[in-house]
Amino acid sequence: MNPSFDKKIVILATGGTIAGRAADARDNVAYSAAQVGVGQLLSAMPPEGVPDVQLAGEQVAQVDSKDMSTAVWWSLLLRCRFWLDDPQVCGIVVTHGTDTMEETAYFLHAMLALAGGCAKPVVLTGAMRPASALVPDGPQNMLDAVVVAADGRAAGVSVVFAGQVHGAREVHKWHPYRLDAFSSGESGPVGVVEEGRLRLLHGPAGDDGADILAARAVAVPAEHWLDLARTDRSWPRVEIVTSHAGADGWLVEAMLASAQAQGETLRGLVVAGTGNGSVHQGLEAALLRAQAAGVEVRRASRCAGSRMVANPAARLPDGGGLSPVKARIALMLELLARDVVGAADAAGPAFRPAP
């Protein structure tokens, strides 16, 4: 942590279990998340094994990640972009709650690619035990995340947890309690951290950044995405419904009616289908009606272990093999891109910066 080091890693703290406290050190369930500041997180990290870099901390938010909001996402994106543009900074670590870590990872994965690229490591990490636990897992996870953030081979967004490095596209939380709570399914981790060293196993699964958006969203200049973040632009409303035994169109119809009653517009729906994205006929009928009425619909799968295989005969488009929660983010960004270009067309050429 010597400030004379030439390179710097910035820790952006957002709260979560890693910053949690409980009244009893044996309690790893009934704790309060987001209680400990970034300075305390840094001081709890064992100094042994820290790479030869300067560490700096910044508190971006202090939330339980079950309550993560798009406003925090915009703020986090701007701070990541700010620090990535600093030539002294070699990487970023984001401390985050585990409940929605996979969503934030995919958001940053897509948005940093759209908003100027991500040629340095951005590493998310957290903990399954609060900071007050008898044996907290947060300090070791933070140390491993710093190791990865200091390694230029890990450029892009990843999740580091329990000694494993996961790509942002495939990672998902698979266990509600165990310390190794994250998995990348059949793709497996892209690397492991062993005794303070990163060992890469293979490259990240999937494409390099805004994979789904590249196929469906129109081009938007990078600075416009940052402008949206600076103004905390409201997101298109996209919801998730689940196909299951006995499913019908009640929930879809109820959401459409509720949006209309409140003067809102339901812009998109993602259906978490069974198996390879199959949808109960009763639910599918309602989704097809919504699609005909202008609602964008995407299919995903409830199966977390692998990607859904595209079915050309399906009447509802698939979400590119993303999980339901990530397909929702991709669809929101796709719709947002359309809105931005629509505004650009209305404003004329002056809206777009010179190439």
User: What is the layout of strands, in order, in the sheet containing 197-200?
Assistant: 54-63, 8-15, 89-95, 121-125, 156-161, 164-167, 191-194, 197-200
Whole-angstrom Cα Rg for the chain: 21
Structure letter (DSSP) for residue 201: -
User: DSSP states of 35-59 as a string?
Assistant: -S-HHHHHHHS-STT--SSEEEEEE
Q: Residue 182 corresponds to which amino acid? A: F
In angstroms, rounded to a whole number, what is the distance separating the alpha carbons of residues 316 and 304? 20
In angstroms, rounded to a whole number, what is the distance separating the alpha carbons of residues 169 and 158? 9
Question: 343 near 221, Cβ under 8 Å?
Answer: no
Would you mind telling me the total number of residues written for the chain in this entry? Answer: 355
User: DSSP states of 168-198 as a string?
Assistant: TTT-EE--SSSSS-EE-GGG--SEEEETTEE
In angstroms, rounded to a whole number, what is the distance separating the alpha carbons of residues 271 and 278? 9
- Helices marked H in the chain: 38-44, 70-84, 101-114, 138-149, 211-216, 222-230, 250-261, 281-292, 324-347
User: What is the layout of strands, in order, in the sheet containing 266-273?
Assistant: 237-242, 266-273, 296-301
Tell me how far the alpha carbon of residue 85 is from its chain's centroid: 21
Report the 10 Å Cβ neighbour count for 2: 9
In angstroms, rounded to a whole number, what is the distance separating the alpha carbons of residues 351 and 298? 31
| Residues carrying an active site annotation | 17
Closest to 336 measured CA to CA, from 210, 170, 156, 240: 210
